[in-house]
Structure 1
Amino acid sequence: MITALTLISGALYAGASAYETLTRRRRARTFLTDGHATPKLPKRGQSWLDNVRRQQLDVMSTNSDDSDGQAVERMLNRNLAVSSASMGLVTVGGLILPPLGLLSALPAAFVAAPIFKDTYNALVNERRVSATVLDAIAITIGISTAHYFAFSLFIFLYYVRRKMLMKTEDHSRQSLMNVFGQLPRTVWVEQDGIEIERPIETVQAGDIVVVDTGSVIPVDGTIASGMATIDQHMLTGESQPVEKGVGDQVFASTLMLGGRVRIQAERAGDETMVANIGDILRHTADFKTSIQSRGERLGDQMAAPFLGLGALAFPLVGPVGAGAVLLASFGYQMRLLAPLGMLNFLNLASQQGILIKDGRSLELLREVDTIVFDKTGTLTLEQPHVGAIEACHGYCEDDVLRYAAAAEARQPHPIAKAILQEAETRGVVPPPIDDAQYEVGYGIKVRIGQQVVRVGSARFMEVEGIDKPDRIRDLQTEGHTQGHSIVYVAIDDHLAGTIALYPTLRPEAKSVISELRKRNMSMVIISGDHEIPTSHLAHELGIDHYFAETLPEEKADLIDQLQQQGRSVCYVGDGINDAIALKKAKASISLRGASTAATDSAQIILMDQSLHQLCRAFDIAQEFDTTMNFSFAMTMVPGIMILGGVFFLHFGLVAPMILNNLGMAVGAGNSMLPLLKSDKATSDHV
């Protein structure tokens, strides 16, 4: 049987190849005569960027170039039309004119050529039994036993299924890209105090862009004036709109619900965050690769056993029954359902502010049993908080804070923000600065009235000749041991006091750790900080294991050690020194706004710049696994029913086809269900 099938496949393969060659030549001639060899100019009302952006979205939605995607769709539509005609002929033949049944086999055989082409390639070139081999044998049995209706029905349902999945997949891909919206064609730019409407592609860094209520923000930048309420949940996953004012960052493709702002553009066009996310989605490892290969392996693994089962069934139930047994194989369905499910869950994650750069991460997250957290910047915020103020030489705490806040008033770094925040909390108003002179190095020196105020490190005080009392020296040693930063404040030639800055625990950290503990996750903290502060943080969060004073390469070694112990590790980090560990771990997560090295290395980015969505990422991975298992069951149940029907109810070829496609439809619906539920919940919320 295999030899005969190989010969038939070879003949059909040669015919299909000849047809494809003629088709390519005809398309090439059409391409040249239509004059499409040169780029089209934009239509009236369209900008060059509109065309470029549409082309980019097309590329992202088809995961190949536009012409290839259109060619595949045209071929699919043609084959579906031909198979429909075949079904019409065989139906009319069965009711009125029997010879039409035989005639129907010709168009059906023509569009069956791709199946035989794949079969020929598997058997002859790859020397293996693939899932398409079973299809080809079933088709051959249908033709050779004059079951033309069953044969035509098989081909028709095959292309209906492919068309349905293609449309569903295209819709899911487009939904994934629509998460980031579309930019406007033109924007209002302020020039010499006048607002001028310009094409968006002409906007450059430094331009002042004016945005009003209801408009989509066209650039990444900083608000120069005005206030606004902005809906950026599609980008960051934040459930509520955010209020933003002067100095706050805004991002392209987010929607301004209220207000009017002038934005100083920092990035436009392909440099915006949205464009970078799109680039990640376009150039990342194909999200279908791992899950589809698993489906293909399953299909191929099941092909040989079902081929053997069909051979055993042949003497018992005849050729038709043997063909029906081959149709019971469920592996091929998973080749289609697995990537569809993966695509929908990538879409679902994006809607909730979780950017998954590599689809394999969904599979890997489900296997994780140990989460390793970097301490600084991940469990703690970049900005510390004032923990203690020590005054000396007759000054009080508020005096120390007042002068420090005055010196740091115009500084953007986290330490300055922490001091200014504490001054605001205490109601301490810093005095105005006269003739400010900044000497930035280990500290800052400014003039306030007749006084010279120095704020900075212990080394800065030594350089400036400011003496430290013994009590302050003891506090310095203790603070160093505890991992606290000490800021010294001197007025004229005397030390006024010190401000101790403590690491600030992320507000959501305790609840996230508690939730992970309920999931029986083992957790570890790795930090380059000192032993005592790392120990205190671990104790505060209820984490039993930690490693302190670790170098970047040592972090990676610790990940290796944990994985060699049989643990499946997910590393969560945000710094340059975390990049190696992020690469070493089985799964890796970083936060938007982290170092470029970390976000480039991590497989998953939490877009709201917090740990809030960490547990949700694991939930999505588990839901994906549950969905795929159900889809797998939906392909097994019809197979079992078909086998029972063949041996006990004497099924022909039609009933197995119908059962198989019903299972496929249920599996596809199940793959879409989580996304549909999410869309409904979003619409209800709105």
Structure 2
Amino acid sequence: MKNQYKIAGMTCASCAMSIESYIKEQDGIYNVAVNYPNQSIALDYDTSKVSIKTIEEKIKQIGYTLVIGEHKTSQNTFEKLEKKKLELLKKKLIIAIVFSTPIFIMAMFLPEKIAYKNWVMLLLALPVLFYSGAEFFIIALKKLKHFSTNMDTLVALSTGIAFLFSLFNTLNPQYFINKGLVPHVYYESAVIIITLILLGRFFEEKAKSKTSSAIKKLIGLKPKKVTAIRNGAEQIIAFDAIMESELIILKPGDRIPVDGKVKKGHSFIDESMITGEPMPVEKTKGSKVFSGTINQKGSLKIIAHKIGNNTLLSQIIKLVEQAQSSKPAIQKMADKIAGIFVPIVIGIAIITFALWYFLSPNITYALLTPITVLIIACPCALGLATPTALMVGIGKGAQQGILIKDAQALETAYKIDTLILDKTGTITEGKPQVTDVFWGKNTNSLQLKKIILAIESQSEHPVAEAIAKHLKNKNIDKIAVESFQSSIGLGAQAQYKNITYRIGNKNLILQNNIIIPKTMSTKANNLKTEAKTVVYVSDKTHVVGIIAVADKIKESSLFAIQKLQQIGIEIHMLTGDNAHTAKAIANNIGIKHFKANVMPDSKGAYVKQLQDQGKIVAMAGDGINDSNALAQAHVGIAMASGTDIAMESAGITLMHSNLKQIVNAIKLSKVTMKTIKQNLFWAFIYNLIAIPIAAGLLYPINGFLLNPMIAGAAMSMSSISVLANSLRLKNTIIN
């Protein structure tokens, strides 16, 4: 059985690693891949040896929840669990802040000898440790049962021992006083550590809760109700009730619920979600239609050929799910090393206690030094190293119109060596526009423009709409024409002052024996080589004008592509458009690698093909048809002018829809990752130097022994230094 499920309760990438390593050990499990960003697990297992219920129980044993059931049901259950988790986390954080703030003030600013000070701090610390921070201790215990550790283990140990030591000194201060030592308490260290970590987790969960699901958006493209003909009458039925070979009625504006063929009617269908092309496609009897596309102005009767999970839209949904789940979990350096770091710190603390206990007659030192080790080794600086730099980097990007959806995209962007660009809406403007207009000699162009506007305003064709819009923007007023006729697939005609004017393609002109002057013919052929749609305008006998309509290349595209190629990135272009248009655009923009007539599943496969060659691939697009490829790529880059689904599938969204922003995103990734590495370096160097000193390494040399209070302050300073280094990113110039 191969299946994918949601997992609730993961808080970091090391959680994913723990689940993966634990489940792999179970008999009957062939393969397991836990995806932290997607909060999911992909399982390949033998149902004769292990059941999903058993796997669910095993995962529950180590503190997480496997959500099983049908896709829609499990998704809803998962969302409810995550919402409940966020609400509980918020409540715990508020309580932690309320109770830890007075503890911190009392410990830092009030004299030691104030009566009952320690008792007041003890009472205030109880709800922070045993309510707000309870999860750290619960998870640490569950990990201990299975001989594993993570950052929660270190947090639980350091805060737990600091609290127990403080509790002992509160209940029995005379023990240390009799030995000539001050019975310090460290309640503030314990509660502040818990509060800071809860604050970080709250912000992370809050960000995740705001991220809508691309899958959910795609599913929303399926209409809830459709009109079908049953028993000779029209009936409104549920989408799920559609049967194969059923006759479906589509009215203007309806979203198509199935893959099928037109039986009767004439209309234009917006298929941009499949092809990415802005030009609606004309549909007549026998034409194929696809689920999720939108019927425009006409009415159609279609026969359902593929329904439910067999439709093209369902296949796109499946491909996006697979691409998202196949992404590796974010393996941040701190989490990778945590698996080794935590046991080493615990081992050092135990060895420190043993050495002091057996080599020194002072039991106090044997107790204080391991506590100092655990406090000073607390992973605050280590835990802040990556998220703080990412937070500042993401904020810096947002200021410049580069929205980072997930950290993995920012971590990977500077490594990309191959960039795939969708044509329409990414390289080009994404909508048909009039690019060229030529009039014949001795032509009254102003009057002709008024006639053209009058005719094209009555046509439903997308090219006619583009021409009409162009003329309206030129403040042209239409005049009254007579005998308007529209010819499907050819164009339209009407009369003005008893003269018939025709506007359409070359076939319309030839069928009516209209003469095309040589100059006009040459001009039309030149425009066609530039991948432009040519519209002929004629009077009764001659072509008197030519209008070219095309999806214009953005002014910024050429500069951006040249810049990207200069920094060593190989550019590929994919489009659902025809080969002739693709070649013309590629030549104009300087792209060597391009592919035309590409369907959505082929785009994802193309990305995978390049990835299999060892390339780090980024994909930039703006349509639903790009969503699979955006999810499959190492870095997905969406244009804000495109669809919500493209933006949900991508890790980065460019608010200005300008390819120059991709260059800036790569630069931002580079400086952010440099900052992260600096933070991690200093956090580890700090631990490397501080832990041996905390253990008492200098005591035999000069009698120096680090006080736990100073250790707590040093731990705080290390966190502050990491924060300060991250904040330097704000002043970095990206352009």
Q: Normalised by the shorter chain, which TM-score bucket? A: 0.5 to 0.7
C-alpha change, 1:553 and 1:516, in structure 2 (3 Å) is same
Return the letter of the residue paired with 2:188.
Answer: F
Aligned residue for 1:205?
none
User: How far apart in 2 are the matches of 1:494 and 1:438?
Assistant: 19
Please give the residue correspondences for 1:68-107 in structure 2 after superposition, counting only pairs within 5 Å: 68=88, 71-77=91-97, 79-80=99-100, 83-84=103-104, 87=107, 92=112, 95=113
Query: Which of these residues, 182, 191, 194, is aligned with residue 159 of structure 1?
Result: 191
Aligned to 1:661: 716
Match of 2:653 among 592, 600, 605: 605
Deviations 1:408-428 (A, max 9, x none): 468798745765798799x99
Question: Does structure 1 residue 304 correspond to structure 2 residue 343?
Answer: yes
C-alpha distance 640-499 of structure 1, shift in aligned 2 (>3 A): same
Q: Secondary structure at the match of 2:481?
A: coil
Residue equivalent to 1:277: none
Native 8 Å contact 2:514 2:540 kept in 1: no
Deviations 1:466-524 (A, max 9, x none): 54659677877776565331212222354435334454220111222233234332211
Query: 1:551 Cα shift?
Result: 3.9
Q: Are 1:119 and 2:127 an aligned pair?
A: no
Aligned partner (choices 691, 696, 706) of residue 651 of structure 1: 706
Confirm whether residue 130 of structure 1 aligns to residue 150 of structure 2.
yes
SS in 1 for 2:598: coil
Map Cα deviations across residues 608-663 of structure 1 (whole Å, 9 max, x no partner): 34435333333333343233333323422431331353423442423322211111
CA gap of 1:417–1:71, structure 2 versus 1, over 3 A, is: same
Deviation at 1:363, TM superposition (A): 2.6
- Retained in 1: the 8 A contact 2:564–2:663? yes
Cα distance 1:137–1:165, how it changes in 2: closer, same or farther (>3 A)? closer
Percent sequence identity over matched residues?
18
CA distance in 2 between counterparts of 1:436 and 1:299 reads: 80
Q: Secondary structure at the match of 1:558?
A: helix
In structure 1, the partner of 2:298 is none
Task: Evaluate the alpha carbon distance shift between residue 576 and residue 391 of structure 1 in structure 2; reply closer, same or farther with a 3 A threshold.
Answer: farther
Letter of the 1:308 partner, please give it: G
Tell me what 1:525 maps to.
573
Q: Where in structure 2 are the equivalents of 1:548-567 lying within 5 Å? A: 548-567=596-615
Secondary structure of the residue aligned to 2:538 is strand
Task: Identify if the C-alpha distance between structure 1 residues 572 and 134 changes in structure 2 by more than 3 Å, giving closer, same or farther.
Answer: closer
Instruction: Report how far residue 434 of structure 1 moved.
Output: 3.5
User: How much has 1:118 moved relative to structure 2?
Assistant: 3.9
**In 2, Cα distance between equivalents of 1:627 and 1:123:** 34
Distance 1:504 1:81, change over 3 A: closer
SS at match of 2:492: strand
User: 1:655 & 1:380 partners in 2: Cα distance?
Assistant: 61
Instruction: Kindly report which structure 2 residues correspond to 1:433-512, keeping only aligned pairs within 5 A, or say none.
Output: 433-435=480-482, 437=484, 439=486, 441-442=488-489, 443-461=491-509, 465-467=512-514, 483-492=531-540, 494-512=542-560
Q: TM-score, normalised by structure 2?
A: 0.56
The question of whether the paired residues in 1 share the 8 Å contact of 2:454 and 2:479 is answered with yes
* Matched length: 504
Taking a change above 3 Å as real, the CA distance of residues 568 and 171 of structure 1, as seen in their structure-2 partners, is: closer
Query: For residue 305 of structure 1, what is the amino acid of its counterpart?
Result: I
Sort the Cα spacing of 1:448 and 1:594 in 2 relative to 1 into closer, same or farther, 3 A.
Answer: farther
CA separation in 2, counterparts of 1:151 and 1:548? 77
The whole-number CA distance in structure 1 between the counterparts of 2:102 and 2:87 is 22
Q: In 1, distance between residues paired with 2:536 and 2:453? A: 12
Residue 386 of structure 1 corresponds to: 435
In structure 2, which of residues 586, 591, 594 is the aligned counterpart of residue 543 of structure 1?
A: 591
- How many Å separate the matches in 2 of 1:556 and 1:154? 55
Q: 2:645 and 2:508 mapped to 1: Cα distance?
A: 32
Q: 1:418 to 1:657 in 2, by over 3 A?
A: same
Distance 1:359 1:139, change over 3 A: closer
Give the Cα separation in 2 of the matches to 1:104 and 1:419: 76
Once structures 1 and 2 are overlaid, which stretch shifts more, 572-581 or 405-414?
405-414
Instruction: Tell me the distance in 2 between the aligned counterparts of 1:627 and 1:531.
Output: 45
Q: Report the secondary structure of 1:557's partner residue.
A: helix
Q: CA deviation at 1:80?
A: 1.2
Residues 231-246 of structure 1: matches in 2 within 5 Å? none
Aligned to 2:687: 639
C-alpha distance in structure 2 between counterparts of 1:609 and 1:413, whole Å: 27
Corresponding residue of 1:621: 669
Matches within 5 A, 1:319-468: 319=366, 320-329=368-377, 331-336=379-384, 338-381=386-429, 382-387=431-436, 389=438, 391=440, 404=452, 407-408=455-456, 415=463, 419=467, 432-435=479-482, 437=484, 439=486, 441-442=488-489, 443-461=491-509, 465-467=512-514
User: 1:494 and 1:317 mapped to 2: Cα distance?
Assistant: 106
Contact 1:390–1:397, Cα closer than 8 Å, also in 2: yes
Q: Which residue identity does 2:661 align to in structure 1?
A: Q
Instruction: Write the mapping of 1:242-321 to structure 2, written as runs, cut at 5 A.
Output: 295-316=334-355, 319=366, 320-321=368-369
**Gap change, CA 1:603 and 1:610, over 3 Å in 2:** same
8 Å Cα contact 2:426/2:657 also seen in 1: no
Given the superposition, is the C-alpha separation of residues 326 and 172 from structure 1 closer, same or farther in structure 2, using an over 3 Å criterion?
Answer: closer
- Residue identity matched to 2:676: M
- The alpha-carbon deviation at position 457 of structure 1 amounts to 2.3
CA distance in 1, matches of 2:508, 2:624: 27
What is the distance in 2 between the residues matched to 1:609 and 1:128? 47
Query: Aligned-pair distance for 1:454?
Result: 1.9
Partner SS state of residue 613, structure 1: helix
Are residues 559 and 140 of structure 1, via their aligned partners in 2, closer, same or farther at CA, if it must alter by over 3 Å? closer
The answer to whether the Cα contact below 8 Å between 1:89 and 1:100 also exists between their aligned partners in 2 is no
CA deviations on 1:557-613 (whole Å, 9 max, x unpaired) are 221111111111111122343333223222222223324553454343323344353
Quick one: distance in 2 between partners of 1:164 and 1:611?
39
In structure 1, C-alpha distance between the alignment counterparts of 2:183 and 2:139, rounded to whole Å: 18
What amino acid maps onto 1:307 in structure 2? I
Pair 343,65 (structure 1): closer, same or farther in 2 beyond 3 Å: farther
Contiguous gaps of at least 5 residues in structure 2: 1-78, 174-181, 211-323, 358-365, 699-703
Cα distance in 1, alignment partners of residues 476 and 109 from structure 2: 90
Q: CA deviation at 1:160?
A: 3.0
Encode CA deviations 1:284-343: one digit per residue, 9 max, x unaligned. Answer: x9xxx9669765454343101222333444455563434433344364544355445544
Q: 1:534 aligns with which of 573, 578, 582?
A: 582
User: Distance between the aligned counterparts of 1:133 and 1:332, measured in 2?
Assistant: 13
Structure 2 Cα separation of the partners of residues 96 and 592 of structure 1:
60
* Inter-partner Cα distance in structure 1 for 2:341 and 2:693: 19
CA distance in 2, matches of 1:559, 1:514: 22
After superposition, the C-alpha distances for 1:11-41 in whole angstroms (9 at most, x for unaligned) are xxxxxxxxxxxxxxxxxxxxxxxxxxxxxxx
Aligned counterparts of 1:410 and 1:346: Cα–Cα separation in 2: 49
Q: Residue 144 and residue 508 in structure 1: after superposition, are their counterparts in 2 closer, same or farther (change >3 A)? A: closer
- Assess, with a 3 A threshold, how the Cα gap between structure 1 residues 435 and 154 changes in structure 2: closer, same or farther: farther
